[in-house]
Amino acid sequence: MGAGKTAVLTEASDILSRRGIVHAAIDLDALGVAHLSGTAPSDTVMYENLRSIGRNYAALGVQRFIVARAIEGGAQLKLLRDMIPTVRTTVCRLTASLEMMERRVEMRELGISQRELVARVAKLHEILDRARLEDFTVANENRALTEVALEMLVRAGWIEGPTF
């Protein structure tokens, strides 16, 4: 939370689009915004939504997917891999200082859940540190958004560019 996943996702999509590279960019958190009855966990529905969207894009020939989501454990990563029809999955972790991430969340989340969401930043940071699921990390603090997105795409092997 607050590392810039959605902003980098959008910028990376713009870069790929300008280069004519077919892809889909999905903010996974947005697919799970709901309050459901007690019998339907929203994460389950979110991943089923992802499966449907992945199939729709794959039917149109899309083979590259950028998905923004904080993956907290191996089970979530496996589920994500099962839902998206790709040959290879590469995990990029965006990093920023804890203070910066908390400030970003505080500025973005202006509603009744602001305090809880800001408090979640440090907890999620610890969870991701322990999980260590990333193939590489990219710093997203005190840098231009385009530079961050370019580094992510180059390191993922999607485009050629400068060495970072």
Band (pLDDT 50/70/90 cuts) for residue 63 is very high
Q: So what's the pLDDT on residue 38? A: 75
pLDDT digit string (tens) for 80-109? 999 998 878 999 999 999 999 999 999 999
pLDDT tens-digit series, residues 65-88: 999 999 999 999 999 999 998 878
Mean local confidence (pLDDT), 127-139: 96
Q: Is the pLDDT of residue 40 over 70?
A: no
CA distance 20 to 143: 25
Instruction: Compute the average pLDDT of residues 26-33.
Output: 93
Q: pLDDT value at position 163?
A: 63
- Please state, rounded to an integer, the average pLDDT across all residues of the chain: 93
Q: Which residue has the tokens 């580094």?
A: 151
* Contacting residues for 141 by C-beta, under 8 A, at least 6 apart: 95, 96, 97, 100
Q: What is the DSSP letter of 141?
A: S
Structure confidence by residue, pLDDT tens digits, 3-17: 999 999 999 999 999
Query: Which of the four pLDDT bands, split at 50, 70 and 90, describes residue 35?
Result: confident
Percentage with pLDDT > 90 across the chain: 85
66, 27 Cβ separation under 8 angstroms: no
Domains of the chain plus CATH, in order, are 5-155 (3.40.50.300)
pTM of the model: 0.91
Q: Measured between alpha carbons, how far apart are the two ends of the chain, in Å?
A: 24
